[in-house]
Amino acid sequence: MSDQVTIYHNPRCGKSRDTLKLIEDRGLAPTVVEYLKHPPSAAELTRILGLLGKRPVEIVRRKEAAEAGIDPAALDDTALIAALVANPIAIERPIVVKGGKAVLGRPPENVLTIL
Catalytic residue among 6, 10, 13, 75: 13
Give the CA distances from residue 57 to residues 11, 76, 98, 100, in Å, rounded to whole numbers and listed in that order.
23, 9, 22, 21
Helix (H, G, I), strand (E, B) or coil at 106: coil
Q: What is the mean pLDDT of the chain?
A: 96
113 is catalytic: no
Helix (H, G, I), strand (E, B) or coil at 92: coil
More confident site: 3 or 33: 33
Q: What is the pLDDT of residues 41-54, one digit of tens each?
A: 999 999 999 999 99
Q: What is the pLDDT of residue 3?
A: 85
As beta bridge partners, residue 7 has 32, 96
